[in-house]
Amino acid sequence: MEIGQVALIGGSGFVGRHIAQALCARGIRVVVPTRNRERAKRELLVLPTVEVVRADVHSAPDLERVIAGADAVVNLVGILHESARNAFERVHVELAAKIAQTCRRCGVQQLLHMSALGAAADSPSAYQRSKAAGEARVVQAAGDALAVTVFRPSVIFGRGDSLLSVFARMQRFLPIVPLGSAQARFQPVWVEDVARAFGCALGERATFGQSYELCGPNIYTLRELVEFAGRASGHPRPIVGLGKTLSYLQAAVLELSPLKLLTRDNLRSMSVDNVCACGWPEIFRWAPSPLEAIVPAYLSPALRRRLDGFRARAGR
């Protein structure tokens, strides 16, 4: 299926910027809505086929204006923490359904929808329950007129992530790291592999109506990830694993901080292993990159200085 224009909703975020770059490299026109165009990342504004437009996607007229004319739509909108009552429902369920309905009205051929690994109606986490409900509403709203492809990635790592980069910064300033749910298990996937999977699925009829779990090649406990981030950044610190009660208290306290590094709902989600039930999807004909091959390039001070020097000389 020929794809000339894509509406990339949530495109100004971490994953969205990588997908925008991948689509631009293919010459595809990309429309990225944002409430504040002036705050859009420079990486987006300099891409020749990407148009960043001011729009509120929760507004029906704005959403239709963004989607009109698109051959495909990518929905990446998501939040990890609720800042207001029923925020998960509003963002993951109601908005997802509105996007699918608008796609149908505008004659869009394919909708690529970002869900999350572990999304389930019976999950102990409100986040994961809302992701499951969003998937169901999207499929229902799409009906037979709109092809839907769903992605369920594990935690995503890469330069500027909110996973290993945060752990590295913590260890730069803290003498020890008290860690709740230290034995929680994850299978992190590189952001470039996620972006490439979205790009490969775009217009590919074999992906219509399919759901794909995206994970890296290796499984780690949370303790192992924090330890690796400390070593890679040159600031390894002792880690003190907290029991169930202290983990809950830590999450309750951090939930009140502006950054919300950990919430009680995050803790509930970590009670279930965040790992893939099967291997990397065969339709994406490459092997995902291991964390060890990527992370030092953006966490190691020496490697980071060298790469920044290369970028400066290249004018990037």
Instruction: For 142-155, write each residue's pLDDT tens digit.
Output: 998 999 999 999 99
Q: What does the alpha-carbon distance between residue 13 and residue 79 come to, in Å, rounded to a whole number?
A: 11
Q: What is the pTM of this model?
A: 0.92
SS3 call for 8? strand
pLDDT, mean of residues 21-50: 89
CB 17 within 8 A of CB 41: yes
Q: Is the pLDDT of residue 74 over 60?
A: yes
Whole-Å CA distances, 232 to 169, 219, 226, 239: 11, 18, 10, 15
pLDDT for the residue numbered 311: 46
- Residue 13: which pLDDT band, with cuts at 50, 70 and 90? very high
What's residue 36's pLDDT? 81
pLDDT of residue 152: 98
Instruction: Answer yes or no: is 163 within a domain.
Output: no
- Name which of 89, 81, 96, 108 is nearest 7 in CA terms: 108
| Domain membership of residue 43 as a residue range | 5-156+189-215+276-289
Q: CATH code at 81?
A: 3.40.50.720
pLDDT at 305: 53
Q: Percent of the chain beyond pLDDT 90?
A: 83
The residues near 300 (Cβ < 8 Å, ≥ 6 apart) are 232, 233, 234
pLDDT per residue over 284-310, tens digit each? 999 999 999 999 999 987 555 554 554
> Is 112 within the bounds of a domain?
yes
In this predicted model, what pLDDT tens digit does every residue of 164-207 receive, in sequence order?
A: 999 999 999 999 999 999 999 999 999 999 999 999 999 999 99
Residue 297 in domain: no
- Position 63 in a domain: yes
167 is a domain residue: no
pLDDT digits (tens, 9 = 90+) for 209-252: 999 999 999 999 999 999 999 999 999 999 999 999 999 999 99
